[in-house]
């Protein structure tokens, strides 16, 4: 499958459809003005209209028509914003709970739930984003969904039928598909389209109110202006419905294109088209298909992996036909099979794979010395198990931040244990010796799996944890490179309760600071920096590399500042970082860790590097 080509094609189709959607809103406003102008023209010219009268009529009523257009735009905009605030409140967790999802605890001992959580963790590493919380729905249909306003509040939902019917590879393809929706901004796009559609439909509600108000006052002897108000109400009612109808068609078309994009991205993440292709085939032959029985399934139909509801025509379908999706993935035409018997997968679920691509989170070759080869699985398993519990996750984080110098480490650990909850202190004793045996890249990858547990902490616990992290980092009087990367990862899980502000720096200076740090990790810093500024194409970049690149406090503020930039700027900075990394033809551990920290902070996917 040429997944990059399919991704680009889906994005182009989406852009054209969104432009059409915007033009439709403007056409709706101008249609209302046109109908009103026509009615006013005939009322002012009982003898008939000719071309000579139109200029005079337009000049006479132009201020009123402009006011009507502004009012209609205000109504659509206000109603849309109101609906957006409703849809975005509560984050992905509220959507999952409304669909009957049950939150899976990271420390679960259920093999089926462990299987789901392990696959979600693997796909988070492969796509370069925080591990989201996972919900299990008691539904027989093969389906899944992703919900949330941003990657940091996103959740993944999976049906019991999905786990029951699919193999591990197929389930991995489905989860990768949902990660694509998160990374490509499809959740935010769908919510915005739903808001605009509600704003358009609100015109019908407003028109109905006007019509009802006239009918209730029909017995009033004073009928001045009632005919005009009735006409306006009727026009709003009809055009509101017409606008909603065509807007709904465009929304469904946009959703179908994003499904193609997500399918292509799933192949990119897994490098296995048979996984997602097999899942789609299973849906076609499964007795329950992909149907969701929950009463809230209709309003969330665009979120699902497969069609969650039945009875919709192809025009309003939020998902392309299974045959077409399979054809794009596998390149062959597909005929739906007979209903497949229900079989339960018996594959082992407790094994955890640590392939080079997963550990590095780069789909290229990571040059690692032999002494830093992956340790035996028995060393990794206890740390992974601790990461599944909030207390254990904090213990893993703290053990990684303890000073590397042995006397300073012992002193800092003893002071820390006196302040910690007994459960965290016990976990710290268990994981600290193991942490010392693992290389930086593996430590960073393992800690990224602890993010769901860290997000389960309350407000006061999160604030206390942030303070402890700051104290551990400054215990030896300096901040080193790896401590900074761990700090950025910790902030992803712990700083959800307070607004982070950037330094107010100019974009060019902020980007130059980031490029300087990446260039310093190269064998040839100056040429690497030049490659970065050429690749980024951002105005205001410093001509030469910064001489001082050990100010991690400034880099922390710069990361916060860039995190507030738009997606285009973030990807330009990412292009510069990648150019600096690839300048010397190799990817070191430090470069891989810093790039992961940057992408996690920016909430953007980490691209494959060859």
- Inter-residue contact 518 to 577 (CB < 8 Å): yes
Note the helical H segments in 271-369: 273-285, 322-330, 356-360
User: What are the C-alpha distances in Å from 292 to residues 143, 160, 306, 597?
Assistant: 8, 11, 10, 37
* DSSP character at residue 362: -
| d(C-alpha 188, C-alpha 18), whole Å | 14
In this structure, are strands 101-103 and 133-137 parallel, antiparallel, or unpaired? antiparallel
Examine the residue annotation and report whether 324 is marked as an active-site residue of this protein.
no
Residue 135 has which token pair?
């919900």
Q: What would the 3-class secondary structure string for 440-451 be?
A: HHHHHHHHHCCH
Q: Residue 54 — φ and ψ, nearest 5°?
A: -65, -40
| d(C-alpha 243, C-alpha 372), whole Å | 61
From the list 545, 506, 504, the residue with the least C-alpha distance to 527 is 545
Q: Give the rounded distance of the alpha carbon of 219 from its chain centre.
A: 56
Q: Quickly list DSSP for 207-250.
A: HHHHHHHHHHTTT-S--TTHHHHHHHHHHHHHHHHHHHHHHHHH
Note the helical H segments in 402-551: 406-419, 422-435, 440-448, 451-454, 459-473, 481-494, 507-520, 525-536
* DSSP character at residue 374: P
User: What are the C-alpha distances in Å from 411 to residues 420, 429, 466, 523?
Assistant: 15, 14, 20, 36
Q: Which is the catalytic residue, given 113, 139, 170, 178? A: 178
User: How many CB atoms within 10 Å of residue 219?
Assistant: 6
Question: Would you name the residues annotated as active-site residues?
Answer: 178
């Amino acid at each position: 499958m040429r997944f990059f080509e399919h991704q680009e094609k889906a994005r182009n189709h989406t852009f054209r459809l969104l432009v059409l959607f915007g033009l439709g809103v403007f056409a709706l406003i101008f249609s209302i003005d046109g109908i009103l102008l026509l009615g006013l023209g005939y009322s002012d010219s009982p003898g008939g209209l000719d071309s000579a009268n139109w200029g005079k009529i337009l000049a006479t009523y132009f201020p009123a028509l402009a006011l009507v257009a502004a009012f209609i735009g205000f109504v659509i905009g206000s109603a849309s914003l109101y609906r957006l605030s409703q849809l975005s409140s509560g984050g992905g967790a509220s959507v999952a709970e409304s669909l009957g999802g049950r939150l899976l605890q990271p420390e679960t001992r259920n093999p089926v739930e462990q299987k789901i959580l392990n696959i979600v963790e693997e796909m988070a590493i492969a796509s370069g984003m925080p591990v989201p919380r996972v919900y299990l729905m008691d539904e027989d249909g093969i389906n899944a969904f992703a919900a949330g306003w941003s990657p940091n509040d996103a959740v993944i939902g999976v049906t019991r039928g999905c786990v029951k019917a699919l193999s591990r590879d197929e389930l991995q393809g489905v989860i990768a598909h949902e990660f694509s929706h998160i990374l490509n901004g499809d959740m935010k796009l769908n919510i915005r389209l739903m808001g605009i559609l509600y704003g358009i439909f609100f015109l019908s509600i407003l028109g109905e109110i006007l019509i009802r108000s006239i009918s209730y006052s029909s017995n009033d002897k004073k009928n001045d202006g009632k005919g005009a108000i009735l006409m306006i109400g009727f026009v709003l009612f009809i055009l509101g419905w017409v606008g909603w109808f065509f807007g709904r068609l465009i929304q469904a078309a946009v959703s179908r294109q994003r499904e193609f994009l997500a399918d292509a991205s799933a192949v990119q993440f897994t490098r296995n088209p048979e996984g997602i292709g097999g899942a789609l085939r299973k849906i076609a032959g499964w007795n329950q298909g992909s149907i969701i029985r929950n009463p809230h399934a209709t309003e969330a139909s665009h979120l699902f992996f497969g069609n969650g509801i039945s009875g919709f025509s192809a025009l309003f379908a939020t998902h392309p036909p299974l045959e077409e999706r399979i054809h794009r993935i596998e390149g062959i035409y597909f005929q739906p099979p007979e209903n497949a018997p229900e079989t339960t997968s018996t594959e082992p679920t407790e094994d955890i794979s640590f392939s080079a691509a997963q550990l590095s989170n780069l789909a290229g070759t990571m040059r690692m010395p032999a002494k830093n080869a992956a340790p035996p699985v028995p060393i990794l398993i206890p740390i992974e198990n601790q990461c599944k519990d909030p207390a254990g996750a904090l213990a893993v984080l703290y053990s990684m931040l303890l000073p590397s110098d042995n006397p300073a480490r012992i002193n800092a650990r003893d002071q820390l244990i006196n302040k910690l909850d007994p459960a965290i202190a016990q976990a710290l004793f268990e994981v600290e010796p193991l942490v010392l045996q693992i290389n930086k890249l593996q430590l960073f990858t393992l800690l990224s799996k602890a993010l769901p547990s860290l997000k389960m902490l309350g407000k006061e616990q999160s604030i206390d944890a942030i303070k402890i992290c700051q104290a551990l980092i400054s215990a030896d009087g300096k901040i080193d490179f790896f401590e900074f990367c761990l700090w950025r990862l910790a902030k992803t899980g712990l700083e959800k309760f307070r607004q982070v502000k950037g330094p107010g720096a100019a974009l060019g200076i902020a980007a130059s600071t980031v490029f300087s740090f990446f260039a310093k990790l190269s064998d040839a810093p100056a040429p690497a920096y030049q490659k970065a500024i050429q690749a980024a194409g951002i105005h205001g970049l410093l001509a030469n590399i910064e001489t001082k690149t050990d100010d991690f406090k400034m880099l922390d503020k710069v990361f916060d500042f860039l995190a507030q930039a738009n997606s285009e700027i973030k990807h330009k900075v990412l292009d510069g970082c990648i150019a600096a990394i690839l300048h010397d033809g190799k990817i070191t551990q430090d470069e891989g860790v810093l790039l992961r920290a940057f992408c996690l902070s920016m909430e953007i996917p980490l691209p494959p590097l060859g």
